[in-house]
Amino acid sequence: MSDSDKPYDIARILKALPHRYPMLLVDRVAELKKGEEITAIKAVSFNESFFQGHFPGRPIMPGVLQVEALAQAAGILAVETLDLAGSGKLVYFMAIENAKFRAPVEPGCLLELNVGFVQQRAKVCKFWGKASVEGKVTCEVQFTAMIADAPE
């Protein structure tokens, strides 16, 4: 069984992304079409550290973390599409555009992360992203990312 035939579980996510707890915001990849799009899942738990202060008595996942989760899903899509796993290359934000927050994300839900390419080049990619809970859109955004070497 080749790597591309294996399920995209947390072990494979850890190989694709440099992020680790508490900043790793992708728990599972449900579907990945190289060169096209990805559907990933973030299981939103009440135990997340940001819920202590955002907001006591009314826990809501910060919108910026929804955008970060979408960017991490895009990072997996780029790494897989450009065959960068194990290369030491990183995917860095360059721009965030047209971010819209439609509904709160509360503990206990599965946040679905849908991301696709708008434009793909060797070192710069533009993506669209949409987060949702049970089919209800919570966040929409477009962003640009750069593929670069990790800092020394």
Tracing tokens 């979408």 back to the chain, one arrives at 70
Q: Rounded to whole angstroms, how far apart are CA atoms 29 and 25?
A: 11
Peptide bond into 22 cis (omega under 30): yes
Q: Rounded to whole angstroms, how far apart are CA atoms 41 and 49?
A: 18
Phi (first) and psi of residue 4, to 5 degrees: -70, -20
Question: 115: burial class by Cβ within 10 Å (0-12, 13-18, 19+)?
Answer: buried
Evaluate the CA torsion angle 130, 134, 135, 136 in order and state its sign.
Answer: negative
**Residues marked as catalytic:** 54
